[in-house]
């Protein structure tokens, strides 16, 4: 039971229910369920805010629960948490927002937020933003703003993507951080000679490969092209995308083989065991390196096109939205305001030190070295992207993009037909 | 009558007494090997579930366990809040089971014991409905559920969507196809004179059904109950689409909670999986005698 | 209850009441009250079934001619005719592989577990020490959910850590990527699906075999038929109705296959199935209801082929009766 609102202890009631059902009362006994499953259920109660939570892993779940507890103490309101498994939450989001969503709910910044905001499925947060905007950098405000100029998301935490490596391994072998693609190729060649898989790679879950595509794309073609391509305004069969895949193909021999059968956790383990040299992922990779965080370091993806240098960093933002018709609007606004405070964000990342607070007022002195680096990389970047599956139409990301990248990894020689397939689907999706 | 529907032949045919002969040994050897191969995956999962994360992370899964422990089971039990979800499942599965057997036996009774215009059409409708892929139904069903209001005391969401009533209903509607098909086949083998006699005695239609036919269907009902229990219990898709509150999810979907997004402990998931499978295993082994008897489906003897 | 005590008349003896024919139920004139009761007994379940199964199925067919993201009311739906179907057939790279995989899936399930299940059933259909123990072991997998089966087999198929490669001795040298290699993963998953399905088929045949009159077999044996001849000439024909049930169950299982690949890799990279494509498009984060419904209708049409064949069979049985 993740709801901690006081409800009559269910056990006795349950037993009675059980009896009733067993006695063959059948459907008549079902209504009791509602009472048992959902505490006081929100309804019209003005002292309760319902909260849709997608942090289902034990550690972050406990952390978010603690944050909401402190909100309860501060505001005198009650929070009813509805936790769903992380992936399940995303799969259901569409139906969830149209059905009976919770007042405040977890989501991501970028196109993925705009899509639902523009459909009128989530609530306007401009009022809340007018109170909290001093706490956010302009880039975060932009990432929370839909095309109508209003804000629909309160950023909570953020994490950058980068090339991860173990300092001890690199020191021992005398590797240095590559600044350009040529340097990375040279380094990879050396690693290969040393018997390492230069770049750890895993694509079984379908999304890590999107990260590689993004990095190559904005390093080669720049930030604006990334944005336009994701918005369906550029051609997937054009020479610019083609160059991205050609570059990737050149780098593929330096990537771990069999990526399609490997989960990223396994790739991280190979980095941990010194079997591979570097690994492109978000800082959440640190969760696999418990106790080793100080040895783990990362660098931004090397420069490819001098025109764009390393000016863009991929740093997805997680935050909270409000449903379109919250049963407790004032309470929801209060809770969202609370979630924008450094205190709430820092309390949360204490339990999950692989992320950093979204607020620029957060005190970074308590950060570990990885978090400090993450904060610095984000601060120095001229442009921030969210991630392929957060920057484009979800219909395109989950099907055409994922499967196109998979097909490329499997048959790098088929670039032409793969890109044609992606372009065709982009056309049907973005004109729909 | 009794002997016809009971499972064990009254006297086993006097086949050659099981002497120890070469073919016999070969047969047993073959069966033992097949059984072992069949059980191997489960045993492997069981083995993994008894080991610690540290052990398998260091030594790999293909190694001798450093120690065996039940910790994963207690962790899975509390971490995934299994008792809560067992109850959720129970409260969906039992009503659905009772209703589906009741409904489909009524329809089977009607179509197999009476002759009327739409007799065959009705039977075909149910049988074909049972063959439809779930995915064909799911989108409009979701809409239907969203638009169907329910009183607050029946569903706290106020509509069929996100209510266990809705889940029960779709199980009943969807599964009744198969049950009607099986039960009507079964009921056809029951001599017509039986209900005729009851009718002459002044029994109405419902009494013929409830007091004459239904008791005779007990083996088929038991077999169906076992099958339907596992099917409804194991359902994944309906709940995924029609339930939106994490706390209301049945156990098969709740198992997902054990699988971390960023950190996966397979040993823990293995323990959780086996715990989730336990009720179906128990039901099956308790009812297996009735099961095989009932599954003759009344269709082979004509 | 009195009816039960009076011995039922053995079939075949002449019926005292002036009834037209055996088999066909006489058109009894029912009392109005009985008519009402019967109407309710048939009507309520039929209504539930129709409203929850057939009406939505028809709805999907209608939606397959639309372009709709699933958001908003019905007035937001744009109708596009056969466009979805045209696009699916011509420019959806996952479609044809999925059709192919579905057919392989069906074919595999119809052949392998059926033959294996029948063989095991025949072997077990005799007085056998430990017979029940064998049976229990063999059908144990069938009570597990497909999602669970998917998980368990992942433990076996993992390239470096899995049981299979370690047993084969290839784990450390050149591990076979059972679930990651799109050339073999479909078959690897089919083994897992077949593992679960075989027990079920065995059970169905076992139940069927129990109903074969032992006297028939004895008679055949007396005539000098050997075991194989007895099986093919006496037993197998009697099993015909069971074969129909087996076929139906297998087709349902084959076309509904979804959970297992979804658990393994969301049905990608060699594991595409129509059910997965439908699900991806209609219940994922991204809803393309029209597109997904069109895929669902294609799946429906394939099922319909089997449904009609099957109903035809039932029909004929009915007429013979």
User: So what's the ipTM on this one?
Assistant: 0.83
Q: Which residues of B touch A101 (CB under 8 A)?
A: 244
Which tokens hold the place of A147?
A: 């095309």
Residue window 99-128, chain A: list those with CB within 8 Å of chain B.
99-101
Q: Which fold, A40-156+318-361? A: D-Maltodextrin-Binding Protein; domain 2 (3.40.190)
Task: Find chains touching chain B: ≥3 CB pairs under 8 Å.
Answer: A, C
CA distances from A156 to A144, A239, A337, A355, B155 (A): 11, 38, 11, 10, 33
Task: Find chains touching chain C: ≥3 CB pairs under 8 Å.
Answer: A, B
Question: Which parts of C188-258 are beta strand (E)?
Answer: none
Confidence of residue A347 (pLDDT cuts 50, 70, 90): very high
Contact B98 A24 (CB under 8 A): yes
Over residues C184-243, the pLDDT tens digits come to 999 999 999 999 999 889 988 888 887 777 777 778 778 877 878 888 888 888 787 778
Contact A99 B244 (CB under 8 A): yes
Instruction: Give the integer Cα–Cα distance in Å for B162 and B142.
Output: 10
Q: Which residues of A touch B263 (CB under 8 A)?
A: 57, 265, 287-288
Over residues B227-252, the pLDDT tens digits come to 899 889 988 889 888 888 888 888 88
* Distance between A12 CA and the closest CA of chain C, angstroms: 31
Over residues A39-82, the pLDDT tens digits come to 333 444 578 999 999 988 777 888 899 999 999 999 999 999 99
Sign of CA pseudo-dihedral B52, B58, B62, B63: negative
Q: Which residues of A touch C174 (CB under 8 A)?
A: none
Contact C280 A119 (CB under 8 A): no
Contact A94 C71 (CB under 8 A): yes
Q: Which residues of C touch A260 (CB under 8 A)?
A: 177, 180-182, 269
pLDDT of residue B259: 66
* Distance between A423 CA and the closest CA of chain B, angstroms: 28
Using CB atoms, which residue from A27, A36, A37 is nearest to B168? A27
Instruction: Map out the domains of chain A as residue ranges.
Output: 40-156+318-361, 161-314+384-431
Return the CATH number of the domain spanning residue range A161-314+384-431: 3.40.190.10
pLDDT of residue B270: 87
* A197: three-class secondary structure by DSSP: strand
pLDDT at B299 over 90: no
pLDDT at C312 over 80: no
Contact A18 B90 (CB under 8 A): yes
Contact C155 B236 (CB under 8 A): no
How are beta strands A48-53 and A78-83 bridged, if at all?
parallel
Instruction: Identify the helix (H) or strand (E) that includes residue A80.
Output: strand A78-83
The count of other CB atoms within 10 Å of the CB of residue B34 is: 18
Sign of CA pseudo-dihedral A232, A238, A244, A249: positive
Mutation target to probe the A interface, by most A beta carbons within 10 A, among C76, C269, C279, C280 is: C269
Contact B156 A1 (CB under 8 A): no
Over residues C63-93, the pLDDT tens digits come to 999 988 888 777 778 899 999 999 999 988 8
Where do the CATH 1.10.3720.10 domains begin and end in chain C?
A: 104-257
Instruction: Give the integer Cα–Cα distance in Å for C219 and A322.
Output: 78
Contact B91 A17 (CB under 8 A): yes
Contact A263 B155 (CB under 8 A): no
Instruction: Give the integer Cα–Cα distance in Å for B108 and B203.
Output: 19
Q: Which residues contact A252 (CB under 8 A, 6 or more apart)?
A: A409, A412
Q: Which residues contact C316 (CB under 8 A, 6 or more apart)?
A: none
pLDDT at C26 over 80: no
Q: Residue A256: which of A243, A273, A235 has the closest Cα?
A: A273
Contact A27 B87 (CB under 8 A): no
Sign of CA pseudo-dihedral C157, C159, C165, C166: negative
How are beta strands A161-166 and A78-83 bridged, if at all?
unpaired
pTM: 0.80
Which of 2.60.40.420, 1.10.3720.10, 3.40.50.300, 3.40.50.720 would CATH assign to domain C104-257?
1.10.3720.10
* Distance between C188 CA and the closest CA of chain B, angstroms: 13
Domains contained in chain B, CATH given: 80-294 (1.10.3720.10)
């Amino acid at each position: 039971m993740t709801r901690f609102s006081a409800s009559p202890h269910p056990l006795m009631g349950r037993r009675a229910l059980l009896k009733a059902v067993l006695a063959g009362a059948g459907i008549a006994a079902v209504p009791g369920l509602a009472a048992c499953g959902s505490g006081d259920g929100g309804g019209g109660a003005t002292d309760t805010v319902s909260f849709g939570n997608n942090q289902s892993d034990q550690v972050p779940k406990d952390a978010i629960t603690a944050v909401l507890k402190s909100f309860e103490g501060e505001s005198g309101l009650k929070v009813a948490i509805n936790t769903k498994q992380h992936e399940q939450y995303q799969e259901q989001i569409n139906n969830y927002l149209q059905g009976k969503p919770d007042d405040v709910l977890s989501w991501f910044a970028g196109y993925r937020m705009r899509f639902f905001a523009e459909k009128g499925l989530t609530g306007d947060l401009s009022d809340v933003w007018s109170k909290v905007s001093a706490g956010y950098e302009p880039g975060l405000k932009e990432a929370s703003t839909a095309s109508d100029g209003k804000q629909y998301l309160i950023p909570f935490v953020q994490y950058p993507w980068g090339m991860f490596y173990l300092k001890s391994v690199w020191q021992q072998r005398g590797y240095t951080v590559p600044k350009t693609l040529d340097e990375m190729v040279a380094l990879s060649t050396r690693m290969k000679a040393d018997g390492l898989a230069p770049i750890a790679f895993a694509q079984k879950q379908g999304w890590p490969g999107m990260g590689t595509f993004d990095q190559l794309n904005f390093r080669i073609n720049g930030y604006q092209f990334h944005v336009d391509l994701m918005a369906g305004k550029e051609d997937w069969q054009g020479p610019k995308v083609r160059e991205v895949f050609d570059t990737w193909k050149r780098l593929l021999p330096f990537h771990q083989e069999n990526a399609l059968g490997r989960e990223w956790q396994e790739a991280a383990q190979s980095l941990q065991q010194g079997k591979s040299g570097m690994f492109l992922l978000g800082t959440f990779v640190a969760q696999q390196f418990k106790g080793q965080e100080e040895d783990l370091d990362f660098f931004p993806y090397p420069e490819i096109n001098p025109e764009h240098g390393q000016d863009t960093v991929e740093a997805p933002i997680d935050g909270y939205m409000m449903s379109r018709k919250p049963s407790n609007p004032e309470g929801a606004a209060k809770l969202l305001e609370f979630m924008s405070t450094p205190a709430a964000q820092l309390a949360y990342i204490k339990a999950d030190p692989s992320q950093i607070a979204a607020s620029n007022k957060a005190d970074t002195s308590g950060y570990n070295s990885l978090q400090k680096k993450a904060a610095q990389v984000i601060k120095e970047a001229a442009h921030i992207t969210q991630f392929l599956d957060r920057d484009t139409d979800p219909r395109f990301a989950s099907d055409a993009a994922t499967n196109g990248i998979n097909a490329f990894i499997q048959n790098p020689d088929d670039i032409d037909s793969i890109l044609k397939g992606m372009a065709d689907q982009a056309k049907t999706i973005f004109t729909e | 009558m009794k002997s016809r529907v009971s499972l064990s032949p009254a006297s086993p045919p006097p086949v050659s007494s099981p002497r120890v002969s070469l073919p016999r040994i070969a047969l047993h050897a073959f069966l033992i090997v097949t059984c072992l191969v069949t059980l191997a995956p489960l045993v492997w999962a069981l083995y993994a579930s008894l080991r610690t994360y540290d052990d398998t992370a260091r030594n790999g899964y293909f190694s001798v366990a450093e120690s065996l422990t039940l910790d994963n089971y207690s962790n899975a039990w509390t971490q995934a809040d299994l008792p809560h979800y067992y109850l959720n499942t129970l409260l969906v599965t039992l009503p659905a089971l009772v209703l589906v057997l009741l409904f489909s036996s009524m329809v089977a009774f009607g179509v197999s014991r009476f002759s009327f215009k739409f007799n065959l059409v009705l039977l075909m409708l149910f049988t074909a409905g049972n063959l439809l892929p779930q995915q064909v139904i799911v989108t409009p069903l979701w809409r239907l559920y969203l638009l169907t209001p329910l009183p607050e005391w029946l569903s706290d969401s106020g509509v069929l969507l996100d209510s266990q009533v809705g889940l029960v209903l779709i199980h009943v509607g969807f599964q009744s196809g198969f049950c009607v098909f099986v039960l009507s086949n079964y009921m056809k083998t029951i001599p017509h004179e039986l209900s005729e006699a009851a009718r002459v005695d002044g029994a109405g239609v419902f009494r013929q059904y409830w007091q004459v036919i239904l008791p005779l269907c007990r083996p088929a009902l038991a077999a169906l109950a076992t099958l339907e229990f596992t099917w409804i219990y194991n359902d994944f898709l309906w709940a995924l689409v029609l339930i939106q509150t994490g706390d209301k999810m049945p156990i098969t979907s709740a198992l997902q909670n054990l699988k971390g997004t960023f950190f996966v402990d397979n040993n823990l998931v293995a323990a959780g999986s086996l715990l989730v499978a336990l009720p179906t295993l128990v039901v099956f082994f308790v009812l297996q005698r009735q099961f095989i008897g009932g599954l003759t489906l009344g269709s082979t003897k004509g | 209850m009195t009816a039960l005590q009076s011995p039922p008349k053995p079939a075949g003896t002449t019926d005292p009441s002036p009834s037209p024919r055996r088999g066909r139920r006489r058109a009894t004139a029912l009392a109005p009250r009985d008519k009402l009761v019967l109407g309710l007994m048939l009507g309520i379940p039929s209504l539930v079934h129709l409203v929850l199964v057939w009406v939505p199925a028809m709805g999907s067919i209608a939606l397959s001619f639309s372009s709709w993201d699933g958001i908003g009311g019905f007035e937001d739906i744009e109708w596009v005719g056969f466009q979805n179907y045209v696009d699916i057939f011509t420019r959806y790279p996952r479609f044809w592989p999925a059709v192919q995989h579905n057919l392989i899936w069906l074919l595999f399930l119809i052949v392998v577990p059926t033959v294996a299940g029948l063989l095991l059933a025949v072997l077990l259909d005799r007085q056998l020490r430990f017979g029940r123990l064998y049976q229990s072991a063999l059908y144990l997998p069938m009570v597990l959910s497909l999602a669970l089966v998917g998980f368990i087999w992942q433990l076996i198929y993992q390239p470096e850590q899995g049981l299979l490669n370690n047993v084969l001795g290839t784990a450390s040298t050149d591990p076979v990527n059972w679930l990651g290699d799109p050339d073999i993963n479909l078959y690897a998953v089919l083994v897992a699906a077949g593992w679960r399905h075989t027990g079920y088929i065995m059970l169905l045949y076992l139940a069927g075999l129990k109903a074969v009159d032992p006297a028939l077999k004895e008679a055949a044996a007396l005539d000098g038929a050997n075991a194989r001849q007895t099986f093919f000439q006496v037993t197998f024909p009697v099993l015909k109705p069971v074969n129909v049930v087996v076929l139906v169950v297998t087709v349902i299982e084959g076309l509904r296959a979804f959970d297992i690949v979804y658990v393994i890799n969301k049905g990608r990279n060699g594991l595409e199935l129509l059910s997965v494509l439908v699900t991806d498009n209609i219940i994922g984060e991204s809803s393309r209801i029209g597109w997904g419904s069109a895929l669902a209708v294609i799946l429906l049409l394939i099922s319909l082929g089997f449904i009609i064949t099957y109903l035809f069979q039932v029909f004929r049985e009915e007429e013979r009766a």
